[in-house]
Amino acid sequence: MHKWPLEDKPLLVFYETTKACPLACRHCRANALLKPLPTDLGTREVMKFIEDLTGFGRPYPVLILTGGDPLMRNDIFEIMDHAKSLGIPIALSPAVSTKLLNEDLLRELRNRVNSVSISLDGARPETHNYIRRTALEQIDVFKTTLEAFEMLRKLGVEFQINTTVMKLNVHEIPHIFKIVRESGANAWEVFFLIRVGRGMELEPLDPWETEDVVQFLYDASLYGLPIRTVEAPFFRRVIMQRSASVKYEGGRLYQELTGQLRELMGESSSNAKPPSFTPTRDGYGIIFVASDGSIYPSGFLPLTLGNVRRDNIVKVYREHPVLRTIREARFNGKCGVCEYRNICGGSRARAYTEVGDHLASDPACVYEPTAK
């Protein structure tokens, strides 16, 4: 695979098209609303921002249209068509709602987007519906989500499933993995909770539980489905360790999750290859543009770097001092001396929200660097 020049251009540009959303998920970074805000970028401003992205040069980063719910914007097709006409790949991250995300709409989307991501936070309706509350319509979000997977599969639209792991759903993770694997999804992206926005209502895993889950994800990845983590870059440290035959005995949670995994899926193939990865982190390979145009290193790291209304995103990505320190892996504490800092570097968002310093060590990582 061509090595992506992460110093010069992100792989992924997240654009929060609007905060408006029919769901009011308990862990959303946004405070969801039923109407777009007057501060949202207007159509012409969005078009200009999209044109600025071509300054990164080909191949262009993937533009991930997220929210809120991007389908709440009246001009979303216009935005997608403009990006597509410029050759920018598009991924769409809609909320599940029968009013907005239905088969007719997916047919419309099919030729516009490269992929779609849908969230699944529970293997049982009770869990998923508790986490992903609806505000617009009374629907069984869990059932509608499974129907959305089926529609996407039938229409041949590439999709990935996103899961946010927390105390509330951690025991369901092997069952969620089974649903994901059987759904026809191309990848499973597992988010580790950062306590911002509504995420404050929910309890994240403690560090050893986090380690147990990340180690479990390594075992799950041996069943052939690509698995990525968000805000747990130390999954890559685990991949390196386990590929080098460093055994993990694990705590009770790890034993429980891997026991369930074997029960549900049988043994993984002994020839299974460890997952590959790209060493991105908040602000390095990733950049986030909020609905009002503010630029952040990621959606979970509220350090403003500029605004697409007045700043060129290419210049901000390449030159902003905050991003330079992040990409040069100049961290404090154990992340700063860790032998895995270049491929991992810890969650800068968690360091910032928990410690108040975006260069501090990631408090969720239990690893003790040998070079300390």
Nearer of residues 132 and 341 to ligand SF4, judged by Cβ: 341
State the DSSP string of 302-350: ----EETTTS-HHHHHHH-HHHHHHHTT--SHHHHH-TTTTT----HHH
Q: At 286, give phi and psi (nearest 5°).
A: -135, 140
Q: What minimum distance in Å lies between the beta carbon of 350 and ligand SF4?
A: 9
Q: What minimum distance in Å lies between the beta carbon of 10 and ligand SF4?
A: 20
Structure tokens at 236: 């890559």
Nearer of residues 152 and 344 to ligand SF4, judged by Cβ: 344
Nearer of residues 185 and 335 to ligand SF4, judged by Cβ: 335
Q: What minimum distance in Å lies between the beta carbon of 232 and ligand SF4?
A: 9
Structure tokens at 242: 């386990």
Nearer of residues 6 and 139 to ligand SF4, judged by Cβ: 6
Helices (H), 186-303: 207-221, 235-243, 252-265
Q: What minimum distance in Å lies between the beta carbon of 235 and ligand SF4?
A: 10
Q: What minimum distance in Å lies between the beta carbon of 65 and ligand SF4?
A: 30
Nearer of residues 68 and 346 to ligand SF4, judged by Cβ: 346
Distance CA 231, CA 190 (A): 9
Of all helices (H) and strands (E), which one includes residue 163? strand 159-165
Q: What minimum distance in Å lies between the beta carbon of 178 and ligand SF4?
A: 29
CA angle centred on 98, ends 94 and 101, rounded to 5°: 35
Q: What minimum distance in Å lies between the beta carbon of 49 and ligand SF4?
A: 32
State the DSSP string of 182-201: HHT-SEEEEEE---SGGGGG
The residues of the shown chain that bind ligand SF4, judged by CB under 6 A, are 234, 237, 334-335, 338, 340-341, 344-346, 361-362, 365, 367, 369
Tell me the three state secondary structure of residue 298: strand
Nearer of residues 305 and 343 to ligand SF4, judged by Cβ: 343
Nearer of residues 63 and 364 to ligand SF4, judged by Cβ: 364
Nearer of residues 6 and 33 to ligand SF4, judged by Cβ: 6
Distance CA 98, CA 136 (A): 10
Helices (H), the chain: 43-53, 76-85, 103-110, 125-131, 141-155, 173-183, 207-221, 235-243, 252-265, 313-319, 321-327, 333-337, 348-355
Q: What is the CA radius of gyration of the chain?
A: 20
Nearer of residues 141 and 214 to ligand SF4, judged by Cβ: 214
Q: What minimum distance in Å lies between the beta carbon of 347 and ligand SF4?
A: 7
Place of tokens 């060590």: 361
Q: What minimum distance in Å lies between the beta carbon of 3 and ligand SF4?
A: 21
Nearest CA to 335 out of 352, 319, 318, 320 is that of 352
